[in-house]
């Protein structure tokens, strides 16, 4: 546990030892949220996801059992059996429903992906069936900007009707020691009393930066992999893209290229708004938000600050606060960059999972 979190805990009332806190994680992916909660001392029982390839990483790192199953086919009784019958044990139901359905585009075009759009309703259904003491949900901030009858409002309504007190807020990840400008909505709900996220642990001058996170890693050329760390590998670049990254100054982007290197889309008015594409990161600031395409220079400001390449999978994992001990593949000598980028970009940063868990622990002690 970080020193700052321990100081936050000391500022709250303590009422004896904590009971056992047990977690079932819906939409678990490779286990970022579960791992953060495990780090805080929670007992991770199980995770559910429709991507069976996440099984190895989830089970190896969190200790929970992975179930390859669609949330629409999960019954409350099935989940209830996973929790222990220990007296006073606290049941936590956690989840991060896939965020794509809650983008502005998907909300305008709901019927194109109706099944995914309904996933949060399935989460609510399971809450109603098992009544866990604590519920937590993490998602994109856009889910909070919908009109009153939005899927988030419906989910919160279900929680209120089932006797939960609910708090949600948009979190700026650097405020909690996560070295990327990611913003996420974090919801906490409890049947025990008022619950809220702990206050920020980092002031602006204390933000963890790109330099803090990756400066000491071995240098790479485009297309290389580190002998001692197979996950520290980056994509090869075409001759044209090598020329482009070579002329991109520190902190710059495609806007700094000579005309002959510009893409056709950047010459059009509509393309000029994507200023960070093909950009280099800045050493003394947090990294941009990691996405499922974060190891490609054409997908955002994912260029290394000074090396002529995109960031490696290891660097992306560190920006997401995965420790170097985290195992993503059974054989990391055969790392798929596409798969690794998807795993890492889709994950809840483990540090955010730890922050959520510490908030729950303080809540339980106070109630």
Strands 134-139 vs 183-190: parallel, antiparallel or unpaired: antiparallel
Among the listed residues 198, 197, 201, 175, the one whose alpha carbon sits nearest the alpha carbon of residue 186: 197
Which SS3 state, helix, strand or coil, does residue 275 take? coil
Rg, C-alpha atoms of the chain: 21
Residue 204: CB atoms within 10 Å: 8
- State whether the Cα torsion 180-181-182-187 is positive or negative: positive
Residue 173 annotated as catalytic: no
Candidates 28, 96, 99, 294; catalytic one: 99
Query: In this structure, which long-range contacts are made by residues 119-122, counting pairs with CB atoms below 8 Å and at least 24 apart in sequence?
Result: 119/27, 119/71, 119/72, 120/151, 120/152, 120/154, 120/155, 121/151, 121/154, 121/155, 122/71, 122/72, 122/74
Q: How far is CA 191 from CA 88, 89, 122, 160, 360, in A?
A: 14, 14, 19, 9, 12
Tokens of 119: 């996933």
With the CA atoms of 72, 190, 363 and 353 taken in that order, what torsion angle do they form, in degrees rounded to the nearest 10? 20
- Active-site residues, by number, are 99
């Amino acid at each position: 546990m970080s020193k700052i979190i321990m100081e936050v805990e000391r500022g709250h009332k303590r009422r004896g030892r904590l009971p056992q806190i047990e977690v079932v994680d819906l939409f678990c992916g490779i286990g970022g949220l579960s791992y953060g909660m495990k780090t805080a001392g929670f007992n991770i029982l199980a995770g559910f996801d429709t991507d069976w390839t996440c099984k190895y990483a989830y089970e190896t790192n969190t200790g929970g059992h992975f179930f390859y199953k669609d949330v629409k086919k999960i019954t409350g009784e099935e989940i209830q059996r996973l929790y222990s019958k220990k007296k006073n044990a606290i049941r936590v139901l956690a989840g991060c429903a896939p965020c794509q359905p809650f983008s502005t585009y998907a909300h305008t075009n709901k019927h194109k992906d109706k099944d995914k759009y309904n996933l949060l309703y399935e989460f609510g259904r399971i809450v109603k069936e098992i009544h866990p003491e604590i519920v937590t949900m993490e998602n994109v901030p856009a889910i909070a900007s919908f009109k009153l009858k939005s899927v988030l409002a419906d989910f919160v309504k279900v929680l209120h009707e089932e006797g939960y007190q609910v708090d949600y807020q948009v979190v700026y990840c650097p405020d909690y020691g996560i070295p990327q400008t990611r913003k996420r909505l974090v919801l906490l709900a409890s049947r025990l009393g008022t619950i809220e996220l702990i206050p920020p642990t980092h002031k602006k001058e204390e933000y963890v930066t790109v330099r803090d996170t990756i400066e000491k890693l071995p240098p790479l050329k485009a297309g290389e992999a580190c002998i001692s760390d197979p996950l520290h590998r980056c994509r090869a670049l075409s001759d044209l893209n090598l020329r482009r990254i070579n002329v991109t100054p520190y902190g710059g982007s495609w806007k700094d290229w000579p005309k002959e290197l510009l893409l056709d889309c950047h010459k059009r008015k509509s393309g000029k708004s994507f200023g960070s594409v093909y950009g280099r990161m800045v050493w003394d600031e947090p990294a941009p938000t990691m996405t499922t395409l974060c190891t490609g220079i054409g997908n955002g400001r994912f260029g290394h600050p000074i090396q002529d390449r995109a960031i490696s999978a290891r660097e992306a994992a560190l920006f997401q606060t995965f420790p170097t001990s985290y195992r993503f593949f059974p054989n990391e000598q055969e790392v798929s960059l596409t798969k690794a980028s998807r795993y890492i970009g889709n994950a809840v940063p483990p540090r955010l999972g730890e922050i959520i868990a510490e908030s729950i622990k303080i809540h339980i002690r106070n109630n």
